[in-house]
Structure 1
């Protein structure tokens, strides 16, 4: 099986959602500022400059995957002395679109904001005025499967019993996760589509409690305020290991190395796979030289032993893309996410 971001093959009633890693003919246009890179980025006039400090924005509250990625990026940048400072600012809200609006007005080219699948979906569900296409794509960094969990005392022993309860009892069986319209929300909808519900019925049955960070979802689960939760493996792994949460299934094509005893959805007879990608974008309107400098800087992070160690420790998958490859991926991801949100009834 090929590995796609938000990949779901839904054969009931002939529906087929292929997933967002689609090769697109059109590349996003990278607009033109002034910054450089330690390895020799240059301005449009050819003069080399150097990025000595960098702003890093996590468009979510502390504790979730975006925050973890932002702080990992900052850690490698400073500890490997690629820049003198890389402070992280958290700007949470609305699936990252509050942070996106902030980036749209950012005047400093040496700024990177974490983005990913969640933001792609949130832009559509929130009808955001500011769009990812208006910014400057820099790199795709990682992919991560989601894990579906329940509190330790939950009566649901497998994912199919959980889905059956939602189909039967609807809003009484609440699921928490990340932002509305994001990967967690989409996955919940795809599970119900696979169970036979149509786009008109899913919003009536699915009681999805959105959060701006993984920490909030964990608190709701630990307080038994919801029946189940969906988030990245890295965000729930410690609570699963401690026994506070019980994992029912992971959403990747293969089992997670961090949760080797937890079956995949496909192993449980559910024809859905999904992974959440994360990457970085810069403000729109920066120069080609600025984009090249930032890309070079992020490439140095990716190539470092420290970054490889962090990726392995968090159970992320290295999915590095830059330049035209990332442009094409992002174009395809946005288009396919729109289609998927429509299929599961989250947008009209």
Structure 2
């Protein structure tokens, strides 16, 4: 076969997705972010995209934000539009599992392909600076008096901050089904509601609130970690007598119907990306803990997390 004919054939195969990504110089990837701009998934997806380019395995990454229903709307769009597409990625995490458990959407993660867990992060609860409440004890005391008067702001129903709020209520002897939880489609919306005093207390990853905490616009009153986070002077819920520990993690999936070779190529790309300077800077900047786990091991982890979160949510009166 003539060289020019061979190259044309290879280009046609690559364009059609028939070649594994490892055989291509660099991929043109598209990233589904199943949340509105400004939140943890958005930050994670864009940081991963930058790291993939920094590592030289992606020539370009396009982003599509589709918020709602704890990521179920974005998941549905991703599943329906990308079957067999070896260049399609979707950010997801613990929040999506909780949303699927509570919302029971018509699509599930089993219709997509697990690639890797990327990071782990704990939630921090904050109050607006002008709030008459000053501590988590103040919040719990108010919760005991009138559960509905405490408006909890955070991610979609079933998110880790929603589950944490229900667990806090249960620890305080309050019926968790009576908490007044206000879900938001993205971190930007939740932040605006907290700063505007439209919710009593807000919860999310520390990185989303960091600038506002450091500027004094928000007061951090508790984190859901087992021990205090390094470099962050915020008391844990446990040390305040509230036995609640729950972590958040984020990962990435591929489309359904891709080949084992395409899956391996994508995993290899992600592993390379996590070794890049851009990814190291993102971890440092956002206070994320690296928690890389890939392939079958990650798939088993997701199954285990589904069972664990469901048990917690049943015990907390959420389902």
TM-score in terms of structure 2 length: 0.91
Q: In the alignment, which residue of structure 2 is the partner of 1:283?
A: 255
2:51–2:274 Cα contact (<8 Å) kept: no
1:36–1:51 Cα contact (<8 Å) kept: no
Q: 1:209 aligns with which of 164, 173, 182?
A: 182
> 2: CA distance between counterparts of 1:35 and 1:303?
25
Cα deviation, residue 345, structure 1: 1.7
Q: 1:162 aligns with which of 139, 143, 146?
A: 139
Larger proportion of strand? 2
> 2: CA distance between counterparts of 1:256 and 1:214?
21
1:175–1:226 Cα contact (<8 Å) kept: yes
> 1: CA distance between counterparts of 2:308 and 2:54?
38
* Counterparts of residues 57-136 of structure 1 (less than 5 Å): 57-105=32-80, 106-107=82-83, 108-136=85-113
Cα deviation, residue 51, structure 1: 5.1
Mean Cα displacement is larger for which, 113-122 or 154-163? 154-163
1:35–1:51 Cα contact (<8 Å) kept: no
Q: 2:274 aligns with which of 302, 311, 317?
A: 302
CA displacement 1:255-284 (0-9 Å, x = unmatched) = 2235x2111111111111111100000111
> 2: CA distance between counterparts of 1:319 and 1:52?
24
> 2: CA distance between counterparts of 1:320 and 1:302?
8
Cα deviation, residue 134, structure 1: 2.2
Higher relative contact order (CA 8 A, sep 6+): 1
Cα deviation, residue 82, structure 1: 1.7
* Counterparts of residues 260-279 of structure 1 (less than 5 Å): 260-279=232-251
Aligned length: 301
Larger proportion of helix? 2
1:177–1:231 Cα contact (<8 Å) kept: yes
Gaps of 5+ in 2: 1-16
Cα deviation, residue 324, structure 1: 2.1
2:154–2:183 Cα contact (<8 Å) kept: yes
3-state SS of 1:225 partner: coil
Given the superposition, is the C-alpha separation of residues 314 and 35 from structure 1 closer, same or farther in structure 2, using an over 3 Å criterion? farther
TM-score in terms of structure 1 length: 0.83
Rg comparison, structure with higher value: 2
Q: In the alignment, which residue of structure 1 is the partner of 2:220?
A: 247
CA displacement 1:227-253 (0-9 Å, x = unmatched) = 110111110011000100000011112
Root-mean-square deviation over aligned CA pairs: 1.4
Cα deviation, residue 123, structure 1: 0.8
1:125–1:181 Cα contact (<8 Å) kept: yes
